[in-house]
A and B are shown apart, each in its own frame.
Chain A
Amino acid sequence: MKLSSYVIKRLLYSIFVLLGLSIVIFIIARVVPGDPARLALGPRAPQFAVDALREEMHLDKSLPVQYFYWIKGVATGDLGKSLITKRNVVEDIAEFLPATLELVLVSALFVIVFSIFFGALAARYKDTWVDSFIRVMAYTGVAVPSFVLAVIFLLLFGYIWPIIPVLGRLSAGIQPPPTITGLITIDSLLTGQLDVFFDALKHLILPALALAVGPLFQEARIVRSAMTENMGKDYLAAAVGFGMPDHVITGKYLLKPSLIPAVSVMGLDIASLMSNAFLVEVIFNWPGISRYGMEAMLRKDLNAISAVIIVFGLIFVLVNILVDLIVAYLDPRIRLGGRSS
């Protein structure tokens, strides 16, 4: 089938893009800062120590050779040591990535579920107060960046109305479940600790909401306009004319074509979730890779910075492949690429 060759093409291209990205990261982390060895050791380190490190990091070689050594390290999982934790960066990532994944996944889930729900609602009750409310929320979502929302949540629920936890992944007294996937919600379910699961869930709600609100209502607007546009299509009138029940018409024949434009921009939403996670994790003291990356940036921990960007680039590329595949699944016109009508 054409789908498989489409996937292969897409994957090959992604590898190329990632290689290109690695050059950009190399330039940011190794070329721009001047002398990474001096940065790593600090201004008071003796010159001979800096020189030794320069040799160890191959900084005395030409740039292409440096890149070659660096990318070899990246490929074999050796990203160097972190200045902050003094550990291998890969270990740090393994420790901090799951928390971020859990947060981003939950907020992505919010975005997907509620954008379809609110979008369909706005389309169904077009030009009523429901529609207006969702439009106002969309404007608000655009205007209030997630870090501002996070701060407001912190003020509201942390101080004024403390009904829901605002900091960290778990409450103080609760033991985290044994690490299986690293996602506390899933691990606690796997080990049957329901109390831990609910505690983790409560901690997830606010940061996930802070991330999700913006993209959520904009997606809902996209779903809404696609739905209202498709409602006027002949094929829908035909389905009604054939006497199909409401739930089949709305839930099947209207929903599927209307989801395509919404899913197509989902990749950008995930990008906004991931980058905003950098600020939101700091605010909610969420022990994820973004907070780790943020600290690395503030302290010029170059190995950690480049590792974090590589990981995010990789995730972003994978997400975009996934989005393309879902769009191709939903839209046979793309998948088959044949005669267009």
Chain B
Amino acid sequence: MNISVQSKQEVPALSFSVRVKSGVKKNWYKFSRNKLSVVGLIIVLIIVFSAIFAPLIVPYPHHAGKFVDYANAGTAPCAEYWFGTDNFGRDIFSRIIFAFRGALYMAALVLAIAVPIGVFLGLIAGYYQGTFLDTVIMRVTDIFLSVPPLLLALAIAAVLKPNLTNAMIAVTVMWWPWYTRLVYGMATSTRNEYFVKASELIGAGRLHIIFREILPNCLSPIFTKMALDVGWVILIGASLSFVGLGEQPPTPALGQMVSDGTRYMPDLWWMTVFPSLAIAVTILGFNLMGDGIRDMMAKGEYDRE
């Protein structure tokens, strides 16, 4: 960034010690150059790990459900209950770890469904650029992108029965158009590249062109976006559960815990503060990791700056 255009013209013969690193090692080098990416990765690993092994590692696994212990209700954070207990006497720490399960499950499933749909539509529209098919797909995409995403998800979740599955459906419905638009832009430009024309000339079929020529050239932005989107899906999920349109009690969910906590403010402040922190740290972790993956996927001058 410090090398501006002029100085580049003046210093053409810089010789860099370009050590060509291969595969995993090179990717890790590119990823880890920014230390924050590594921090993000560590956060994400901790969250994923603790979510998977939640029943084994939390002090009170049975608190993540229907459990009442009024004797210990509203205990402030202490050695026994790290993040305190809620109004039913349930351990907040245990519940947060269990809440990660739903959040990650939702993010994984939403992306697993929305991304292939969005990518496929984008590829088709891009390949048949200028045809009726292109127009239909892209106009529908525009329509979905014309409402603030959270609003649409709220509305869909609201008319369905409030539970985790329906929250996921709602988020999926609003998530695919972003991928369609992303892929469409790349597909239309890739489509006109010479290597695509060339394989067309030697008689490659449509499927081959779309999936073997165009798709591989769209992959790195798709993966980058997915990495960043995990955090965003978790955020939308938390927003939905905050207003009661996600996972239903007694199963814990981050947004729902924040919202429950507000009713006991300021006395039981830990009921609100720790789930809030959990949300913030999760989103931050996935964003930092996503930035790292973007650096990793970026082509070219990785040994400068």
Contacts and interface: CB of A to CB of B under 8 A. Distances in A.
Given A151-B272, A228-B1, A298-B244, A278 B258 contact: no
B279 A145 contact: yes
Contact of B243 (A17, A279, A316): A279
B115 interface: no
B258 A16 contact: no
The 9 A-B pairs at the shortest CB distance, nearest first, are namely A232-B4, A297-B158, A275-B150, A20-B143, A159-B266, A143-B284, A275-B148, A271-B148, A143-B280
Contact of B158 (A151, A300, A320): A300
Contacts of A28: 155-156, 159
Contact of B151 (A32, A278, A283, A317): A278
A96 interface: no
Contacts of B139: 16-17, 20
20 contacts: A17-B139, A20-B142, A20-B143, A32-B159, A33-B159, A142-B287, A144-B276, A155-B273, A272-B148, A275-B151, A278-B150, A279-B242, A297-B158, A298-B244, A302-B159, A312-B148, A312-B151, A316-B147, A316-B148, A317-B146
Contact of B156 (A32, A237, A276): A32
A282 B239 CA distance: 12
B272 to A, nearest CB: 6
A148 B258 CA distance: 8
B154 interface: yes
A268 to B, nearest CB: 9
Interface string B223-245: 00000000000010011001111
A97 interface: no
Q: Which of B159, B238, B239, B258 has the most CB of A within 10 A?
A: B159
Interface of A: 16-18, 20-21, 23-25, 28-29, 32-33, 139-140, 142-145, 147-148, 151-152, 154-155, 158-160, 228, 231-234, 237, 271-272, 274-276, 278-279, 282-283, 294, 296-298, 300, 302, 305, 309, 312-313, 316-317, 320
Given A155-B272, A283-B262, A32 B160 contact: yes
A147 B262 CA distance: 11
B262 A151 contact: yes
B239 A147 contact: yes
B28 interface: no
Contacts of B279: 144-145, 148
B170 to A, nearest CB: 10
Which residue among A29, A159, A297 has the maximum number of chain B CB atoms within 10 Å of its CB? A297
B269 interface: yes
A104 to B, nearest CB: 11
B14 interface: no
Given A151-B276, A158-B265, A278-B154, A143 B159 contact: no
Max chain B CB contacts within 10 Å: which of A28, A143, A155, A272? A143
B140 interface: yes
Interface in B152-171: 152, 154-160
B218 interface: no
Nearest to B279: A148
A17 to B, nearest CB: 5
Question: Interface residues of B: mostly helix, strand, loop or mixed?
Answer: helix
Given A21-B147, A139-B284, A300-B159, A309 B266 contact: no
Interface residues of B, number: 47
Given A21-B143, A155-B272, A278-B150, A232 B242 contact: no
B131 interface: no
Nearest to B156: A28
Contacts of B155: 25, 28-29, 297, 305, 309
B58 to A, nearest CB: 23
A144 B280 CA distance: 5
A32 B265 CA distance: 38
Most buried by A among B151, B261, B262, B287: B151
Contact of B235 (A29, A145, A154, A160): A145
A154 B284 contact: no
B248 to A, nearest CB: 13
B147 A297 contact: no
Interface string B157-197: 11110000000000000000000000000000000000000
A148 B280 contact: yes
- Among B6, B154, B243, B266, find the residue whose CB has the most chain A CB atoms closer than 10 A: B154
Given A143-B287, A155-B273, 8 more contacts: A23-B143, A24-B143, A147-B239, A232-B5, A234-B5, A274-B151, A297-B154, A316-B148
Contact of B265 (A18, A139, A154, A297): A154
Contacts of A233: 5
A247 B259 CA distance: 48
B132 to A, nearest CB: 15
B144 interface: yes
B281 interface: yes
Contacts of A278: 150-151, 154, 243
A160 B266 contact: yes
Interface in B209-231: none
A127 to B, nearest CB: 9
Contacts of A148: 258, 276, 279-280
A298 B158 contact: yes
Nearest to A313: B147
Nearest to B269: A155
Nearest to B281: A143
Interface in B265-293: 265-266, 269, 272-273, 276, 279-281, 283-284, 287-288
